[in-house]
Amino acid sequence: MTSWLSNYRLLVVLITVLSLSGCGKTVIDLGNNQVGLRLPDGYLIKAEVADTEAERAQGLSNRASLSADDGMWFIFDQDGRYPCWMPDMNFAIDIIWVGSDFRIVEIASDVQPEPGVPLAQLEQYINQSPARYVLELTAGVASAHKLEVGSKIELISS
Average pLDDT, 10 consecutive residues per value, the chain (158 residues): 50 37 48 90 96 92 93 96 94 98 98 93 96 98 97 88
The pTM for the full model equals: 0.80
pLDDT of residue 29: 58
pLDDT of residue 11: 40
pLDDT of residue 60: 94
Continuous segment of H or E residues that includes residue 4:
helix 2-20
User: How many angstroms separate the Cα of 5 from the Cα of each of 12, 18, 73, 76, 99?
Assistant: 11, 20, 47, 56, 51
pLDDT of residue 16: 35
Mind listing the domains of the chain with CATH numbers?
27-157 (2.60.120.1140)
pLDDT of residue 10: 42
pLDDT of residue 22: 42
